[in-house]
Amino acid sequence: MNKSRKVGKYEVGRVVGEGTFAKVKFARNCETGEGVTMKILAKSSILKHRMVDQIKREISIMKIVRHPNIVRLHEVLAGRAKIFIILEFVTGGELFDKIVHQGKLPENESRKYFQQLVDAVAHCHSKGVYHRDLKPENLLLDAYGNLKVSDFGLSALPLQGDGLLRTTCGTPNYVAPEVLGDQGYDGAAADIWSCGVILYVLMAGYLPFDETNLYTLYSKITAAEFSCPYWFSPEANKLIHKILDPNPKTRIRIDVIRNDPWFKKKYAPVKYREDEEVSLDDVRAVFEDIEDQYIPERSEIKDGGPLLMNAFEMITLSQGLNLSALFDRRQDYVNRQTRFVSRKPAQVIISNVEAVAESMSLKVHTRNYKTRLEGISANRMGQFAVVLEVYEVGPSLFMVDVRKAAGDTLEYHKFYKNFCAKLKDIIWNPKEGKDSSNLLRTRAC
């Protein structure tokens, strides 16, 4: 079943991400031709899981923190059953992918990303916003290689009283030691710690605190038990130790970081309008009286076959008019999506996917050329899930979009490499003119 769908002035395209409460799709502003990201949330799911306040806070925060190094939220729309969050479309993928592919980054490149990260975090703090989940997977790259902070789902706004935060949250390897306690913590100091861990990862290619046993991990974080590899410059080593100070009261502050000689090398702060007015009227309207802000949803449905990918999506996907990026994994390794192409019929592709998944002891759910694979993660700590969707991109040419829906990113990398090796009979390599195991946009390490 093929659908061409519109939400207000936006033409909705392919799925580019999926989470517990939201689906993320590529969309196009029909008035300007601009590509955007559309985050779609089911109102029933938000109400059922009592997520209204958290979602409203996340949206409000993203409107407040307007900065060139933060993913921009354009507007919020409401349908009868759904909420549509319109975000800046960032084409370069996750910084995490770049680290997975390259390992450690050169010190100058690491410093550039760190400078942009610190600028973005400083802007958030100036607005009284604390991110609380800073990690490479929440740092995106635009087409020019500039960093963009995303995912403010765990962010906190200013508090009353002592101003301390008390919710333990974040990703264990990046979380500050004081967050693990129950005495309250300074959100700004906790974010600075996470920035320090990110800088270490960029320059080392691995984590400063990395243990499979949580008790051992927390013990090392609390004691700041780590060492810098020999290739770190003395200046970088010194700064990282000042950031990864287990005492939040003596930990270096952002204004001092920005005056550090190592940080200031080739530092060019980005220019932007600091006095830009921000209205939260659309946010209030969406959550206070959703029916009054109803945006019509229209679908043009055609029978038979998988979804068709339109020309605009193809151009965006393939980095302009250069279609070689579709077929050469080395050219676009940093993008979030993994995909391969096939000249086999769509139904044959789905049948092969299902058979391979079952051979890997995964549960399979297929509907309308979209398949969800589910299993238990390798460490048995939670669910692992992958979604595959078949698109027709030309006569007898199909693209299969593959994305992680749940589980660890590194585990997904390993899964994808193994999964595609088993599908080599249906994967097409245009350079050889036949099916091959050369993959598109492989993120496996």
Domain containing residue 211: CATH number: 1.10.510.10
Same domain, 361 and 256: no
Which range marks the domain in which residue 153 is found?
95-264
Residues with a known catalytic role: 133
Q: Mark whether 224 and 162 lie in a shared domain.
A: yes
Taking residues 18-43, what's their average pLDDT?
86
* Residue 276 belongs to a domain: no
Least confident of 58-72, 185-199, 331-345: 331-345
382-441 pLDDT, tens digit per residue, is 678 888 888 887 667 788 888 888 877 777 888 888 888 888 888 876 555 444 333 333
Give tens-digit pLDDT for 77-135. Answer: 888 888 898 999 988 888 888 888 888 999 999 999 999 999 999 998 988 888 888 98
Q: Kindly provide the residue ranges of all beta strands, DSSP E only, lying in 43-135, ordered along the sequence.
A: 73-78, 82-88
**370: in domain:** yes
418 domain-assigned? yes
75/54 Cα distance (integer angstroms):
17
> Does a structural domain hold residue 296?
no
Helices (H) and strands (E) in the chain, counts: 14, 17
Does a structural domain hold residue 375? Answer: yes
In the structure encoding, which two tokens stand for residue 69, read together? 């190094």
Identify whether residues 236 and 321 lie together within a single domain.
no
445 domain residue, yes or no: no
Instruction: Give me the phi and psi of 25, to 5 degrees please.
Output: -125, 155
Residues 181, 226, single domain; the answer is yes
Q: Characterize the bridge pairing of strands 363-367 and 370-376.
A: antiparallel
Which position has the higher pLDDT, 165 or 248? 248
Residues 183 and 111 in one domain: yes
Give the residue carrying structure tokens 């003119």: 433
Residue set of the binding site = 48
Residues 6+ positions from 44 with CB-CB distance below 8 Å: 81
Written as six digits, the tokens of 400 are: 């299969």
Whole-model pTM? 0.69
Last residue in a domain, options 244, 264, 284: 264
Angle at 426 between CA 425 and CA 431, to 5 degrees: 90
Confidence at residue 309, expressed as pLDDT on a 0 to 100 scale:
63
Task: Answer yes or no: do 134 and 229 share one domain.
Answer: yes
- Residues 294-300 have a mean pLDDT of 52
- Does 187 lie in the same domain as 256? yes
Structure tokens at 116: 């942009």
| Together in a domain, 406 and 321 | yes
CA 224 to mean position of chain CA atoms: 28
Same domain, 137 and 243: yes
Where is the domain boundary, 74, 89, 104? 89
pLDDT recorded at residue 264: 95
Whether residue 227 is found in the same domain as residue 253: yes
Considering only residues 249 and 3, tell me which one the structure prediction assigns the higher pLDDT: 249
Q: Is 151 left (phi over 0), alpha (psi -120 to 50) or beta?
A: left
Co-location of 383 and 410 in the same domain: yes
CATH value at residue 6: 3.30.200.20
Q: How far apart are CA 360 and CA 401, in angstroms?
A: 19
Please say if the pLDDT value at position 33 is more than 70.
Answer: yes
Query: Which of 73, 89, 105 corresponds to the end of one domain?
Result: 89
Candidate ranges 58-62, 143-147, 409-413; pick with highest mean pLDDT: 143-147
In this predicted structure, what is the pLDDT of residue 9?
92
Across all residues in the chain, what is the average pLDDT?
A: 78
- Has residue 365 been placed in a domain? yes
291 in a domain, yes or no?
no
- The structural domain count of the chain equals 3
375: confidence class by pLDDT, cuts 50, 70, 90: confident
Annotated binding residues for ATP, as ranges? 48
Task: Return the structure tokens found at 80.
Answer: 């009868």
d(CA 29, CA 39): 14
Same domain membership, residue 106 and residue 65: no
